[in-house]
Structures are given as C-alpha cells and as structure tokens.
Amino acid sequence: MSGTVLRTVPSTIASTSAGGEASGQPQVILAVVLGLLFALGTFLVLRKDVVRVVWGVTIISQAANVYLVTMGGLRGSVPILSHGGAHGAVTDPLVQALVLTAIVIGFGTTAFALVLTYRVYEEHGTIDLSEVNER
Amino acid sequence: MSEHVVVAPLVVALVTAILTLGVRRYPRTQRTISLLGIGAYAVAVITLASRVVPLGVLTGGGGTTETLTYQLSNWPAPFGISLVADALSVFMLVLAVLVVVPALVFSVLYIEEFGQRISYHALFHFMLAGVSGSFLTGDIFNLFVWFEVMLMPSYVLVVFYGRAKHTRAALQYTVLNLLGSAVMLVAIGGIYATMGTLNMADLARRLAHAGEYGINPAPVLGLGAILFAVFALKAGIVPFQFWVPAAYRAAPAPIAAVMAGVTKKVGIYAIIRLLFTVFGAATLESELGFGMAGTSFLGLFGPVLFLMAIGSIFLGGLGAVSRNDLDNVLAYSSIGQVGFIVLALALAATGEGTVRTVGLIAALIYSLNHAIAKSLLFLVSGTVYEAVGSIRFDALGGLSTKRPVIAGSFFLGGIALVGIPPLTGFFGKLLVFDTAGKAIVAGEPFAEVALAVALAGAILTIAYFSRAWNRAFWGTPSEPVTRSYQPTTMVVLVGAFALLVVVLGIGFDPVYRAADAAAHAATEWETYVEAVGPEVIE
C-alpha cells in the first residue's frame, strides 16, 4: 500500500470510529467500520420487529458494498486514468463499478422488502415476528 | 470470436418479459406473446444446444462438443464479461426448457385472469432470464447479478397470492436470500482482492498455476467455501433447507414446479461450476501446515458435501413421510432428492478419474430426472387443487377411480422419483449406486456409508410416495373428490408431460451422452480456459 490517503472517506469515518492514530491507513479504519456495520446489521436482523430485520439486512448489504470497495485496495486518489494527467497511482475502478451495480440491486430489493413488510402488517395486523409466525 | 447464438436465450427471455409488461391492457395479446416467447426461448436454447453438442454426439455417431463464447461489447476476456456455453451450461438450459414450457402453459390455464394481467408473465420471463444468465455467465460477479435477476421475480411470485401465509413465507424467503446475496458479495470481493480477477476461466488458470502468478490459494479456499454456502442456500441443501417448504407451499403450483425444477438446479450448477471447473486444479500449498499440504480443493470439499447430502436425504425423506398435504410432501421430497444429487457430487469430489466423471454424470442425470418428475408432480398437485379444491390428504382419497389421468400422472412422477425402470429416475439412482460401487472399489473413504445412505434414502422415497398415493389416490372417493370436476385442458397437459418422463426414460441413450459430455465439460477446465481465452495480465 502506498502512502497516499483517500481524502474524503477518512475524515467522516474518523469521527465515528476510534481511529485517531490510524488515520493514515484508510484500510484499517475501513476494517473497523466494516466490523461495526456487520455487527449492527446482525444485531438488527436478530430483532423481533420486521422493520428492524429489513434495516439489518440493508445495513449488511451496504456493509458488503463497503467491503467490496475496500477490497479494491485504496492505493491512489481517484479511479480515473488521465484527467489532466497529473496523477500518481489510481484506485482500481473495477470494484467501484461492481459496487454501483450492487447498490442498484440493493435499492430494488430494499424497496421490495419494505413493501413486503407493509403487506405482512396488513395481513397479520402486527410486525412482531413471533406473532407473525404463530398464525 | 463472439458467437451471438450464446446470448440468444437471454435476449429472448428479456424481450418477452418487457413486451408482456407493455401489453398488459390486452390480456389475450399478453398471453399470446408470453407463449410465443417461451416457444422462441425453446428454439433459441435448442439452436444453441445443437451448436455446442452436435446431434452426432447424442446419437453416438461421432462429432465433438464445442465451447462457444460471447464477449459482451467485444471486450477481451478477463476485462469484459464473458458468456460461455459449454456442454454443461447447455445441459442445464435444456433441462430448464423441459420444465418451463409446460409450467408456463399450465400457468395460463391455472393462474386467475387478474393475476396474469398484472405481473405474472413478466415475472416468469424475468426469472427465466435470470436462470439462463446464471447458466451462461463466465464471470462470478455477473453470476451474482443473474442470481439477483432470478431471485427478485421469485420473491414476488412466492408472495403472489398475497394472503397471510404467503406474506410470511415470502418474508422469510426474501430476508434469507438478501443475506445470502450480501455474503456472496463479500466472497466475491475477497476473491477479487486475492486473485485479481473475476473471470471464471482466468480464476481457474491462476489457481492451477498459483506459483507462477505469485498467488497463495489458501484464502480462496475459505472464500470459495462462503460462495459454496450461498449456492447451497439456493439449492436448499441441509443445513440451508429451512426456507424450502414454506416457499414452495406459498408459491402458485407452476412456480413451485419451476423453483423446485429449475432454480434449485441453478444452485447445483453453480456448485459444479465452482468446485469442478474453477477449483478443478486448485491445490493447497505447503505453508498452510495443517497437514493438508498438496490437498486439492475438491478433496477438501468432498467430506462437507457428503455430510450435507446425508443430512438432506434423511431430513427430506423423514420430513416427507410425516406431512399431510401434497405440496408439503413434495417440498420435503425435493430436499431429499437434492441430497441424492449432492451425494453423487460428494463421491465425484473425493474420487479421481472415472469415479469423478461417473459421479458427475449421476448428479446431472439425477438433476434432470428430479427437475422433470418434481415439476410434473407440482403441476399434478395444482391440477388436483383445481379439480377438488384441496390438496390436504384428509380431503382427498379415491382420486384414482374418479380422475384416472391425474392419478396416473402422479403415479408416473412418483415412480420416476423412486426409480423404477424404464424411467429416467431408475438410471439416476442406478448411476448413484454405480458411483458408490466404483468408489468402494477405488478404496475411497465413506464410499460404503454413501451406498448405505443412498439405499436408506431410496427406501424413504418409496415410503413417502406410497403413503401419498394411499392417502390421496387410492381408497373410496371422499366427499370433495366425488364433487370434483375435470379441468380437461390441464389434465391433458399434465398427461402429456407425464408421457415425456416415460419417453426420456425409454430413449435414455442420448440423455446419457449429453450428461457425459456435460460432465467432461465440467471437469476439463483447460478446455474451458482455452475457449474463453483470457489474456494473461501481469
């Protein structure tokens, strides 16, 4: 990994994680964030409330997207080959293309899951999973 | 060297789906387009199949199978998305055609007018596009995309009737598969980070020559295991089977037929492609140090497959014996039957040479048999529901005297699964036993256990089918059965489909040769790599 820092992400991330001294290493910070996101997602999926479960799933799929970006190796600044020409290393653009695809898919599935939640509520009169499963 | 015929099934399915959405004000036109579309799809697949596996190969008259590729937008292999049609993909596509054509015709008769007009046809064809894409793609991220294309319509189709039990089943099915998709993305990201490519052919080559590329294949084993778990979720193999019964009961009968017959097989196909083609030559290097140095990936996956197969066969079999309605029995039965497929795959994974090939052939033949027989049975169950108004055993009884064609079709589907000659199921079972026998001769571990499990599973299959037959079809006609009517067109359709099961069994030779070609295509990863021809990047 080269010493270049990804400029936009760490400033926001550093405030949410403990990463003061690790701010030179975006991947370490991202790893911590990923852990937190997956933990939060798992926690929500295990709730009894259907809406929380759906949010949990959404957070987990977004965490997977962040993971994909991280896996591309944040080596350079922007994923553009020549824009004015004065660039050093570039970040792998492929993972970003993958994430865009995954985000679009995630958008569709989240919308569907929320509508489905509403239908579950209409049919069962509750969004408590233990009550939904009793009938 | 792009072959446009490779992309034809996909384009046909997508175009049909969009057209049926466009004309939904005109139900008649919509149904016509949908039926024409499925016909065109069948023609596209058969054209493709005849290019990849020439007729000479099927009749034993000579000729060689080909591997056709299509590079999207003409980007060369590892950079763009490759679509690959080899004998294995084509085998699965033909399997899909055999199921979806009768299922769609049945749907036109079975699904109420309003439901058809709203979304049914479009969803059906989108699902078909997803299935075809999954069979054809040569890129793991693209496989993820096609999985999603296949799954999204299936969520809607599971909740199609929209009442309490359907919403509940769909919620469970959707949440599980969304989690599965997220996990699949994680595995794909990891594989990209460690291997530097997502093209399956490129992956296979890099794994085979890991040293030259300076890659440590050990992380890929773990990431591959994650991918494998996602595929097992799609295929409904124990311990990922729990969504199966609720989803199949909630979905309309023709959709349950397609889900059990085709979308489950997408999971099986993905497992075969990943383990046998991509990981075909992958071995662990020495530095891992659990005493596993030099072990092939396949050898490590073998015991896992084996345990999952045993679990599926027993859980499915025992579950099916104790259920009280047709769909439930069929759903549990499909868990058990997939167990047989996985058992053959487990033997193929641990075995070498002929055991591997025969195991794969057994798995493929069994998949084909299960696809046709199980979807026939789901369609029969739909017909029974249409005629009698119930599929619960306590409301049925004596159908064989009142509705002989329905009963006869159920009987044929049942004995095809049990494996009575001359039906395809017999050859499927025979080949599973044959593989186990060959594995015992080759001195493989667990081979005796595999044989015993296969026998026990066969006995369970006989048990639950004779029970279903006794409860629903034999005896004196019950009150609802005597009041039942004859949905003539549906009965004719189901009867014709049942005859297909018999025809495939009697004309088994070409089926066997096709499976043989597919098994070789799956294991000969060099041919696959050569056909795709990914450029070497440093």
User: What are the domain boundaries of chain A?
Assistant: 24-134
Task: Give the ranges where B23-160 is alpha helix by DSSP (H).
Answer: 27-52, 55-59, 87-110, 113-115, 121-136, 140-158
Using beta carbons and an 8 Å cutoff, which residues of B are at the interface with A?
A: 141, 144-145, 148, 152, 155-156, 159, 162-164, 167-168, 170-171, 174-175, 178-179, 181-183, 185-186, 188-190, 192-193, 198
Q: What is the pLDDT of residue B444?
A: 79
Tell me the Cα Rg of chain A: 19
Return the residue matching tokens 């690790």.
Answer: A22
Q: What is the pLDDT of residue B291?
A: 54
Mean pLDDT across B170-190: 94
In a domain, B536, yes or no: no
In a domain, B83, yes or no: yes
Please state the three-class secondary structure of B142-197 as a single string. HHHHHHHHHHHHHHHHHCCCCCHHHHHHHHHHHHHHHHHHHHHHHHHHHHHHHHCC
CA distances from B260 to A20, B159, B280, B462 (A): 53, 16, 28, 19
Q: Count Cβ atoms below 10 Å from residue B438 Cβ, excluding itself.
A: 20
Asked if the peptide bond before residue B239 counts as cis, ω within 30 degrees of 0, the response is yes
Residue B464 has pLDDT above 70, yes or no: yes
Tell me if A116 and B171 make a contact (CB, 8 A cut-off): yes
Asked if the peptide bond before residue A79 counts as cis, ω within 30 degrees of 0, the response is no
CA distances from B8 to B4, B87, B99, B175, B473 (A): 7, 16, 19, 32, 43
The packing angle between helices B508-523 and B353-388, to 10°, is 130
**Is residue B341 a contact partner of residue B370, using CB atoms and an 8 Å limit?**
yes
Q: Tell which of B79, B145, B165, B171 to mutate to test the A interface (max A CBs under 10 Å).
A: B171
In a domain, B534, yes or no: no
Mean pLDDT across B425-433: 90
Size of interface A-B (CB pairs under 8 A): 92
| pLDDT tens digits, one per residue of B11-65 | 999 999 999 999 988 999 999 999 999 999 999 999 999 999 998 888 888 888 9
What number is the ipTM of this complex?
A: 0.88
**Is residue A112 a contact partner of residue A52, using CB atoms and an 8 Å limit?**
no
- Ordered per-residue pLDDT tens for chain A, 135 residues: 333 333 333 333 333 333 333 345 777 888 899 999 999 999 999 999 999 999 999 999 999 999 998 887 766 566 665 555 555 666 778 888 899 999 999 999 999 999 999 999 999 999 888 888 875
In a domain, B21, yes or no: yes
Q: Which two tokens stand for residue A123?
A: 């049919």
In a domain, B277, yes or no: yes
The beta-carbon neighbor of A68 closest among B155, B178, B185 is B185
Q: Model confidence at B217, in pLDDT bands (50, 70, 90)?
A: confident
Q: What is the pLDDT of residue B292?
A: 57
Residue B478 has what DSSP assignment? Answer: P
Return the residue matching tokens 């009987």.
Answer: B411
More confident call, A80 vs B192: B192
Mean pLDDT across B221-248: 93
Backbone angles phi, psi at B279, to 5 degrees: -95, 15
Q: Model pTM?
A: 0.92
State which amino acid sits at residue B210. A
The packing angle between helices B87-110 and B121-136, to 10°, is 170
Return the residue matching tokens 């009697």.
Answer: B506
Smallest CA–CA separation between B442 and chain A, in Å? 43
Return the residue matching tokens 């490590």.
Answer: B300
Mean pLDDT across B298-327: 92
Nearest of B384, B388, B429, B371 to residue B410 by alpha carbon:
B384
Backbone angles phi, psi at B283, to 5 degrees: -130, 155
Residues ≥6 apart with Cβ < 8 Å to B483: none
Q: What is the pLDDT of residue A76?
A: 59
B411: domain range? 4-529
Mean pLDDT across B159-188: 93
Residues listed for chain B? 538
Residues ≥6 apart with Cβ < 8 Å to B441: none
Looking at domain A24-134, its CATH class is mainly alpha
**Is residue B399 a contact partner of residue B481, using CB atoms and an 8 Å limit?**
yes
Q: What is the pLDDT of residue A10?
A: 34
In a domain, B180, yes or no: yes
Mean pLDDT across B144-164: 94
Residues in chain B within 8 Å Cβ distance of A54: 175
Tell me if A67 and B185 make a contact (CB, 8 A cut-off): yes
Q: What is the pLDDT of residue B2?
A: 67
Number of domains in chain B: 1
| pLDDT tens digits, one per residue of B502-522 | 898 888 899 999 999 999 999
Q: What is the pLDDT of residue B269?
A: 96
Residue B156 has pLDDT above 50, yes or no: yes
Mean pLDDT across B85-108: 95
Tell me if A61 and B190 make a contact (CB, 8 A cut-off): no
Return the residue matching tokens 């033949």.
Answer: B365
**Is residue B195 a contact partner of residue B215, using CB atoms and an 8 Å limit?**
yes
The region of weakest confidence among A112-121, B1-10, B77-86, B193-202 is: B1-10
Using beta carbons and an 8 Å cutoff, which residues of A are at the interface with B?
A: 45, 50, 53-54, 57, 60-61, 63-65, 67-68, 70-73, 94-95, 98, 101-102, 105, 108-109, 112-113, 116-117, 119-120, 123-124, 132-133, 135
The beta-carbon neighbor of A67 closest among B148, B155, B189 is B189
Q: Model confidence at B368, in pLDDT bands (50, 70, 90)?
A: very high
**Is residue B233 a contact partner of residue B183, using CB atoms and an 8 Å limit?**
no
In a domain, B535, yes or no: no
Q: Model confidence at B294, in pLDDT bands (50, 70, 90)?
A: low
